C-alpha cells in the first residue's frame, strides 16, 4: 500500500456534503489543498433534512468539527449552547448551512451532483503495471441528467449509508413483497407528530427494529396515541427480549438516551405498545386498501401482523457498487476498511469501544482513496460524528504530506453509560446486530453522511450520571458517545431526563 505523501496532491474529490464531508473540506482548505465537494442533494446535509425532526443525544460540543469551527468563527459565527441537543434541522441551520456558505468552502461545493462511479484514469481494476500515481476519474450525473468526468488526485468518500437500508426480511435478504415505495412503507424515521401526523393518526403502525431509530418512532407514536386513542402501535423484534434497548436508564451518561429506554419500557408494560418478540419476517402481502399483511414466524410457527404502515428501522449498509473499479480492502463481515473492521465489529462490540483511528487505518490499496464517516463503518451501527471528524483531520494531514500530524490521532469524548465491549446482543448474526442500528446514520446519512453520521448503540448501563470528557490516544480504547436520536417532542423533564425534549 503506497504512502500518499510520496505523491503530489492538489485536488481532492469529497463525496457527500454532510457533517463529515464538510469537515473534510474544511481540513483540506486549511492544508492548502483544493476540495471539490459533490453532493447529490440540493443543499448541505440533504439526508439529515430527511430526519430533521429528530433530536440527537449528544450535545453541540461533540457535534462541531475543529477546522469547521475555525472557518465559521472567522466569519463572526457564534456557536450554539455547547450543552444543547440539536435536532437534525438545527444541526443544518445553525452549523452546516453557515459552514457551506463560508467563502473558503462555498466555491468548492457542487449540489445536485451524484457520483455514479470512481476509477483510476486510463486503467481498470485489473491493471497493476503503471497503476500507482495515476489520478482518479470521478464520474457524476446531475439532477438535470448531465454527465461529467472529474479528474482529481485523491478521493474521500463520505457519502454515508442513508440511501441503502437493510432489508426487513430474514437472512439479510429482502422478503418477497418488500417495497420501500409501497403505500404502507413508512421509512425508518417518519415525522409522526409533524407533517405526517394525519397519515398515522387512528391507524395501526408496525415498527421493526431494536435501535434508537425504532425507539424514537415508537415513543412518538405513543404520544400520538394519547391524543388519538384509535392509534395502534406494534413493535416487532427478532430477539427474545428488548432489555438491551431499554439500556441503563438513569445510569446512562447521556440522560436523553437513558430516558428513552425507561419510557419505552413503561409503555410496553402498560400495553400502550404491543411488543412481538422472536419475529422473523418471511413476506409482505399488500391489501387492496393500501394496508399490508406482514407474514412471518415465531419459533417456526406462522405469525401474521396486519397493519396500515411499517416503519423499517433495521439499519443501513454501504453502497460499494460505485467503487467497483477501485482496489479496496473491505472486511468480508462488516464491509468496513479491513484494518478498522475488527475494532467495530458488532459481533464483539455493542457500543463505541473503538480505538481512535486515522489515515493509516483507512488507507486503501489504491493510494489516495478513503472511506470515511458512516460509510467507513460499513454495516456496524456504532459510528460517532467526533470519530469521523478525526478521520478526515488525519487524512487531510497525510495528503498534505504531514505524516506526524496524520499519525497523532486523538479523540475527546464523553464517557457513556453503555460501555460493554462484549457480545451482549441477543442477535445471533450481523443482520440482527444491524437491526440495533440507529438512523443513518448519515447521511447519516453520511447521516449524516447518510446524511446523518449517526447511529444507535446498545449494552448495559455502567457509566456516570454526567458525561465527563476523556482524551484518548491513538492506541487507547475509547468509550464514546454514539450519535442516536431521542424524540423531539417527548417531554423528558417529565420522565426524569434532561432538557432536551
Rounded Cα distance between 22 and 109, Å, is 9
E strands within 277-321?
Answer: 279-286, 292-298, 301-307, 309-312
Whole-number average pLDDT of the chain: 81
Tell me: pLDDT of 489 over 60: no
Confidence of residue 257 (pLDDT cuts 50, 70, 90): low
Q: So where are the chain's domains?
A: 4-163+316-414, 170-240+277-312
pLDDT for 1: 47
Four-way CATH pick for 170-240+277-312: 3.40.50.150, 2.40.50.100, 3.40.50.620, 3.50.50.60: 3.50.50.60
Whether the Cβ atoms of residue 459 and residue 257 lie closer than 8 Å to each other: no
Summarize pLDDT for 53-66 with one digit per residue, the tens: 998 878 899 999 99
4-163+316-414: what CATH class? Answer: alpha beta
Least confident of 222-236, 305-319, 462-476: 462-476
Helices 66-73 and 19-30, axial angle in degrees (round to 10): 70
Q: Provide the pLDDT for residue 410.
A: 83
Buried b (16+ CB within 10 A) or exposed e, 214-231: bbbbbbbbbbbbeeeeeb
pLDDT of residue 56: 86
High-pLDDT (> 90) share of the chain, %:
67
- pLDDT, average across residues 18-36: 98
More confident residue, 479 or 324: 324
Assess whether pLDDT exceeds 60 at residue 485: no
Q: What is the pTM of this model?
A: 0.81
Would you report the helix, strand and coil content of the chain in percent, each value rounded to 5?
A: 25, 20, 50
- How remote is the C-alpha of 452 from its chain's centroid? 5
Give the pLDDT of residue 3.
53
Q: How far is CA 417 from the centre of its chain?
A: 20
246 pLDDT band (50/70/90 cuts)?
Answer: confident
Q: Which three cell numbers stand for residue 399?
A: 495528503
Segment 320-328 mean pLDDT: 96
CA distance 447 to 242: 25
Topology alike, domains 4-163+316-414 and 170-240+277-312: yes
SS3 223: helix
Q: Using one digit for the tens of pLDDT, what is the confidence trace for 150-183?
A: 999 999 999 999 989 999 998 889 999 999 999 9
Mean pLDDT lowest among 299-303, 336-340, 452-456: 452-456
Q: Which of 238-252, 393-407, 425-439 has the largest mean confidence?
A: 393-407
User: Using CA atoms, how far apart are residues 395 and 67, in angstroms rounded to an integer?
Assistant: 13
pLDDT of residue 383: 84
Mean pLDDT computed over 404-427: 56
Mean pLDDT to the nearest integer, 351-378? 89
Q: Using one digit for the tens of pLDDT, what is the confidence trace for 259-296? A: 778 899 999 999 999 999 999 999 999 999 999 999 99
Amino acid at each position: 500500500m503506497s504512502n500518499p505523501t510520496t505523491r503530489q496532491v492538489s485536488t481532492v474529490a469529497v463525496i457527500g456534503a454532510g457533517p463529515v464531508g464538510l469537515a473534510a473540506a474544511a481540513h483540506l482548505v486549511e492544508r492548502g489543498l483544493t476540495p471539490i465537494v459533490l453532493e447529490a442533494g440540493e443543499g448541505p446535509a440533504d439526508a439529515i433534512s430527511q430526519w430533521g425532526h429528530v433530536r440527537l443525544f449528544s450535545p453541540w460540543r461533540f457535534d462541531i468539527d475543529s477546522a469547521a469551527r475555525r472557518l465559521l468563527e472567522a466569519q463572526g459565527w457564534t456557536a450554539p449552547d455547547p450543552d444543547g441537543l440539536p435536532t437534525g434541522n438545527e444541526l443544518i441551520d445553525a452549523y452546516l448551512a453557515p459552514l457551506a456558505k463560508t467563502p473558503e468552502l462555498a466555491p468548492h461545493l457542487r449540489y445536485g451532483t451524484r457520483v455514479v462511479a470512481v476509477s483510476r484514469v486510463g486503467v481498470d481494476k485489473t491493471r497493476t503495471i503503471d497503476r500507482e500515481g495515476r489520478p482518479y476519474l470521478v464520474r457524476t450525473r446531475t439532477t438535470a441528467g448531465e454527465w461529467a468526468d472529474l479528474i482529481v488526485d485523491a478521493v474521500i468518500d463520505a457519502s454515508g449509508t442513508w440511501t441503502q437500508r437493510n432489508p426487513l426480511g430474514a437472512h439479510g435478504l429482502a422478503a418477497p413483497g418488500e417495497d420501500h415505495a409501497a403505500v404502507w412503507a413508512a421509512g425508518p424515521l417518519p415525522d409522526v407528530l409533524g407533517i405526517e401526523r394525519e397519515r398515522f393518526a387512528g391507524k395501526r403502525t408496525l415498527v421493526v427494529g431494536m435501535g434508537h431509530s425504532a425507539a424514537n418512532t415508537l415513543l412518538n407514536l405513543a404520544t400520538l396515541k394519547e391524543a388519538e386513542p384509535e392509534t395502534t402501535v406494534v413493535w416487532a423484534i427478532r430477539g427474545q427480549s428488548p432489555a438491551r434497548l431499554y439500556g441503563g436508564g438513569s445510569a446512562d451518561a447521556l440522560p436523553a438516551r437513558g430516558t428513552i429506554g425507561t419510557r419505552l419500557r413503561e409503555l410496553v408494560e402498560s400495553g400502550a405498545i404491543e411488543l412481538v418478540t422472536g419475529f422473523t419476517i418471511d413476506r409482505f402481502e399488500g391489501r387492496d386498501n393500501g394496508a399490508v399483511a406482514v407474514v412471518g414466524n415465531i419459533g417456526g410457527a406462522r405469525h401474521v401482523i396486519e397493519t396500515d404502515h411499517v416503519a423499517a428501522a433495521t439499519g443501513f449498509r454501504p453502497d460499494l457498487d460505485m467503487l467497483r473499479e477501485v482496489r479496496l480492502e473491505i472486511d468480508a463481515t462488516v464491509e468496513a476498511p479491513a484494518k478498522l473492521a475488527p475494532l467495530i465489529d458488532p459481533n464483539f462490540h455493542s457500543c463505541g469501544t473503538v480505538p481512535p483511528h486515522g489515515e493509516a487505518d483507512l488507507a486503501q490499496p489504491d493510494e489516495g482513496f478513503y472511506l470515511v464517516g458512516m460509510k467507513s463503518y460499513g454495516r456496524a451501527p456504532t459510528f460517532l460524528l467526533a470519530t469521523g471528524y478525526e478521520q478526515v483531520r488525519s487524512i487531510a494531514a497525510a495528503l498534505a504530506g504531514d505524516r506526524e500530524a496524520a499519525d497523532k490521532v486523538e479523540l475527546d469524548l464523553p464517557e457513556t453509560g453503555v460501555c460493554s465491549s462484549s457480545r451482549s446482543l441477543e442477535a445471533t448474526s450481523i443482520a440482527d446486530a444491524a437491526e440495533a442500528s440507529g438512523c443513518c446514520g448519515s447521511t447519516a446519512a453520511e447521516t449524516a453522511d447518510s446524511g446523518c453520521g449517526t447511529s444507535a448503540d446498545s449494552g448495559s448501563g455502567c457509566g456516570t450520571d454526567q458525561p465527563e470528557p476523556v482524551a484518548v490516544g491513538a492506541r487507547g480504547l475509547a468509550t464514546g458517545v454514539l450519535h442516536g436520536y431521542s424524540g423531539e417532542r417527548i417531554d423528558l423533564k417529565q420522565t426524569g431526563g434532561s432538557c432536551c425534549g
